[in-house]
């Protein structure tokens, strides 16, 4: 059953990435991407599936449910709470400073939270959920919808700040 879900998740990502547009790729950043470990994490796959399932939901500042729409931190908080029972802080600033393993960019795995400084100055202002193969799900801006983007697109590559892993076997034991 777990392998079936993992295969379904992979097929969903491949299908969605084939249908979406890609921005310009920074070749240096693209070459730093490594294939995620082959360790199967069912919680990460569930996060991935739920996040992808919300693609197309309207962006609403302060939104944190599918019916009200999402902002970036509301989307992340909703997915983690619903799928993994993990309650995350409400803002990207608070999420950046929460406990969790900081992850090198070339070690990203599905379910990791990635942070961006879109306004420059190195201050976090946006976040998304990494889904694999250089792609992430996020609620990008007013008037937009939840969507998949490439972390290696020039805009996101320039704004990339760091990543954090909050899913682990330990967190799933304490947060069923």
- Choosing from 6, 19, 97, 126, the catalytic residue is 126
Residue 126 falls in the annotated catalytic set: yes
Cβ distance 125 to 77 under 8 Å?
A: no
Q: Note if 6 is an active site residue.
A: no
Our answer to whether residue 19 is catalytic in this structure is no
84: number of Cβ within 10 Å? 21
Radius of gyration of the chain (CA): 15
The catalytic residue among 6, 19, 97, 138 is 138
- Tell me the catalytic residues: 72, 126, 138
């Amino acid at each position: 059953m777990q392998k079936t879900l993992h295969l379904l998740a992979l097929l969903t990502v491949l299908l969605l990435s084939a249908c979406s547009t890609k921005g310009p790729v920074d070749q240096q950043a693209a070459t730093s991407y490594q294939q995620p470990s082959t360790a199967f994490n069912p919680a990460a796959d569930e996060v991935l599936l739920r996040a992808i399932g919300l693609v197309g939901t309207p962006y609403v500042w302060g939104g944190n449910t599918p019916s009200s729409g999402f902002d970036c931190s509301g989307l992340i908080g909703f997915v983690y709470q619903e799928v993994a029972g993990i309650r995350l802080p409400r803002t990207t600033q608070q999420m950046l400073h929460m406990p969790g393993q900081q992850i090198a960019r070339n070690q990203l795995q599905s379910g990791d939270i990635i942070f961006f400084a879109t306004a420059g100055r190195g201050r976090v202002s946006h976040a998304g959920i990494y889904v694999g193969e250089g792609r992430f799900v996020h609620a990008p801006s007013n008037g937009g919808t939840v969507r998949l983007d490439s972390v290696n697109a020039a805009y996101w590559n320039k704004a990339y700040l760091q990543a954090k892993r909050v899913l682990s076997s330990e967190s799933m034991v304490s947060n069923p």
